[in-house]
Amino acid sequence: MRLRDLEVFVVGNPPPGWGGRYWIFTKLTTDDGIVGYGEVYASAVGPAAMRLVIEDVFERHMLGENPENIEIMFRRAYSSGFTQRPDPTVMGAFSGMEIACWDIVGKAIGKPVHALLGGLVNHRIRSYSYLYPPENEDEDAFWHDPHLSAECAAEMVELGFTAVKFDPAGPYTIHGGRQPSLDEIERSVEFCRLIREAVGRRADILFGTHGQFTTAGAIRLGQRLEEFDPLWFEEPVPPDNPEAMAKVARAIRVPIAAGERLTTKSEFASLLRCGGAEILQPATGRSGGILETKKIAVLAEAFNAQMAPHLYAGPVEWAANVQLAATLPNLLIVETIETGGAFHLDLIGNAIRWEEGWILPPSEPGLGIEFNEDLARRHKYTGDRLHLEMQENPAAC
- pLDDT tens for 291-324 read 999 999 999 999 999 999 999 999 999 999 999 9
Q: Is residue 385 part of a domain?
A: no
Task: Select from 110, 130, 153 the last residue of a domain.
Answer: 110
Same domain, 49 and 159: no
One-letter amino acid of 216: A
- pLDDT tens for 156-186 read 999 999 999 999 998 888 888 999 999 999 9
Same domain, 119 and 233: yes
Same domain, 84 and 131: no
Q: Is residue 374 part of a domain?
A: no
Same domain, 156 and 266: yes
What is the full per-residue pLDDT of the chain (397 aa) written as tens digits? 999 999 999 999 999 999 999 999 999 999 999 999 999 997 899 999 999 999 999 999 999 999 999 999 999 999 999 999 999 999 999 999 999 999 999 999 999 999 999 999 999 999 999 999 998 888 989 999 999 999 999 999 999 999 999 999 988 888 889 999 999 999 999 999 999 999 999 999 999 999 999 999 999 999 999 999 999 999 999 999 999 999 999 999 999 999 999 999 999 999 999 999 999 999 999 999 999 999 999 999 999 999 999 999 999 999 999 999 999 999 999 999 999 989 999 999 999 998 888 999 999 999 999 999 999 999 999 999 999 898 888 876 5
The domain in which residue 182 lies consists of 115-365
Q: Is there a contact between 126 and 333 (Cβ–Cβ < 8 Å)?
A: yes
Taking alpha carbons only, the member of 61, 94, 83 closest to residue 288 is 94
Same domain, 128 and 50: no
Same domain, 90 and 195: no
Measured CA to CA, the distance from residue 353 to residue 363 in angstroms comes to: 11
CATH number at residue 285: 3.20.20.120
Sign of CA dihedral 164, 169, 170, 175: negative
Same domain, 173 and 199: yes
The structural domain count of the chain equals 2
Question: Strands 35-40, 125-130: parallel, antiparallel or unpaired by DSSP?
Answer: unpaired
Residue 126 φ/ψ region, left for φ over 0, alpha for ψ in the -120 to 50 degree band, beta for the rest: beta
